[in-house]
Amino acid sequence: MMAEPDGPVELVIEGMLHSGEAFGRLADGRTVHVPNGTPGDRLSVRITDERKSHLEAEIAAVAVPGPDRVEPPCPHADACGGCDFQFLSVAAQVRVKLDLFRRAFQQHGIGGHLPEVEFHRSPEPLGYRHRLRLGVVRAGGRPLIGLRRRHSRQLLEIDSCPVAAPAVNRLLREIRDRHLIEPEPGELVLLAGDRGTGDVEAIFEDRRGGTRWIRRPAEPVRFRTASDLEIGLSPLAFSQANPAVAREIASRIDGLVKDRKTRVVELFAGIGTFTAGLARKAAWVDAVETDAAALAQLKDNLQRLHLLNVKVFPAAVSADLAPRTGPAGLLVLDPPWDGCEALPAFVSHLKPERIGYVSCHPATLARDLRPVLETGSYRIVSCGLFDQFPMTAHIESVTVLERN
């Protein structure tokens, strides 16, 4: 094990990582990861930790800024762990995300299968987030509400968040100013609809597992999809945080339905963000979801919209489930960050004409697609990145495969 430098050392930033950190190399060849760096920066850094594969560091000073470095729009950008690309220009964020996405496919040995990748920007780089989860702790007899500090469980108190929608920030201020929560450790979830009707709600989840409503709206919180359907949302269940970009993604998924005869299997259906549009256009949808809160909201949405051509499977997505679903000409999936290792089993069973994979993690996407592509039975016909979370390293994509 090599000794760490005693004082600050000079580091030139070579590029960005999937974690959102920047990286460079010391004179002895060791790689250094540092938050808030941008390509081309010449920095003075302090080494904070030594790992097996790399060193961790923090910026002591920016000697010469890189060409893409900008002043961050958030006063908490140095310390907050929520947004890791605030020091990058918006144009540079696009280039970096495209590079990171392609790199994931190359690292899994399937870079040659990737066609030209489209990039769909968020209409707004700030004020887009309609769902926000904050931590709450007791501080001097009052509740301290904030976001996690980078690489820490400690909270950074905030009055507002620049990437949160105005309605979310207004709700946060109301909760604080009117003392609507007790100084009890837990998490606060804020949610706003996108219809401009002031439909907002909030829940508090304490560390004992209890949940209580802090604010319930007069009108249900809803999201209008690309099919002009209103999907009910719930702070208890995951929902897309950027409605404008979510509509674009839903439109892409809706467009995969070939005709009214199409049958669909949808994995990780969630609250029905894509299910509703698919059911409106297709003959039948098998929708698989395991989370209880999401299932409740999914069933409520289907019932309210009178979509009777959907069978809901309250089950975890696994290879064992594949033979119970289908037939289907279209397979749609939107897994969490750890992907869907059961994908090959569903493809083998269903043999769909098309696959639409909505991913939030390029590495697990590439891992899951590799065995499907290596069969030679499918090819990628389109791939688009959708900037669901500007100012962060988060990469949302829609990859479409067709059977050869």
Helix spans in 217-342 (H): 243-254, 275-281, 292-304
Q: What SS3 class is residue 6?
A: coil
Phi–psi pair at 51, nearest 5 degrees:
-105, 175
Rounded Cα distance between 152 and 125, Å, is 26
Rounded Cα distance between 333 and 322, Å, is 13
Given 21, 201, 266, 396, which residue is catalytic? Answer: 396
Q: Is 383 part of the annotated catalytic residue set?
A: no
Q: Are strands 396-403 and 354-359 parallel, antiparallel or unpaired?
A: antiparallel
Specify the residue for token string 């900008």: 70
Question: In this structure, what token pair is assigned to residue 16?
Answer: 């960005």
Given 80, 83, 340, 360, which residue is catalytic? Answer: 360
Helix spans in 255-387 (H): 275-281, 292-304, 343-350, 362-374
Specify the residue for token string 């709600």: 201
Phi–psi pair at 125, nearest 5 degrees:
-80, -15
Count of C-beta atoms within a 10 Å radius of residue 18: 17
Beta carbons of 265 and 325 less than 8 angstroms apart: yes
Helix (H) / strand (E) element for 401: namely strand 396-403
Q: Is 396 part of the annotated catalytic residue set?
A: yes
Q: Is the dihedral of CA 236, 397, 167, 160 positive or negative?
A: positive
- Tell me which residues are annotated as active site: 360, 396
